[in-house]
């Protein structure tokens, strides 16, 4: 449960709790470099699980905030949500021609009553 550098599983778990899974926050709490904190979050099964739970909690909170914003009438957030979560329903896909396509040229000829070109 302990490490030769004094980084214990218990200390890492405490640093992860409430961090939102932000490695800089975790490293500041532990008192180590960013890369060390990143490695420590993956060192034990318990720290891997705690780190994943923190990230999932932040995603849940973010989804809740977006939902609240949409319920309050924020159409920009609604459009963003539709473009990401609604993609399977066709939202967020470009309609019409591809921006890289060469536009097609249509030529219209007017013909008078005698059938001659004008």
Q: Is residue 112 part of a domain?
A: no
In a domain, 91, yes or no: no
Give pTM, 2 decimals.
Answer: 0.66
| pLDDT higher than 50, residue 2 | no
Residue 108 is encoded by which pair of tokens? 């219209």
CB 41 within 8 A of CB 48: yes
Question: Is 44:9 a contact under the CB 8 Å cutoff?
Answer: yes
Q: Please say if the pLDDT value at position 65 is more than 70.
A: yes
Query: How far does Cα 38 stand from its chain's mean position?
Result: 20
Predicted confidence (pLDDT) per residue in 7-52, tens digit = 999 999 999 999 999 999 999 999 999 999 999 999 999 999 999 9
The pLDDT of 42-65, averaged and rounded, is 96
**Residue 12: how many other CB atoms lie within 10 Å:** 26
Query: pLDDT digit string (tens) for 68-90?
Result: 999 999 999 988 888 888 888 88
Domain-located, residue 20: yes
Number of domains in the chain: 1
């Amino acid at each position: 449960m302990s490490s030769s550098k004094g980084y214990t599983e218990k200390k890492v778990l405490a640093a992860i709790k409430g961090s939102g899974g932000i490695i800089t926050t975790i490293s500041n709490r532990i008192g180590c470099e960013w890369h060390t904190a990143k490695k420590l979050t993956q060192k034990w099964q318990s720290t891997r699980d705690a780190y994943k739970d923190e990230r999932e909690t932040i995603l849940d909170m973010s989804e809740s905030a977006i939902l609240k914003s949409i319920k309050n009438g924020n159409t920009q957030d609604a459009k963003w949500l539709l473009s990401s979560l609604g993609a399977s329903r066709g939202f967020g896909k470009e309609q019409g021609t591809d921006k890289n396509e060469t536009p097609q040229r249509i030529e219209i000829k007017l013909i008078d009553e005698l059938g001659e070109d004008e």
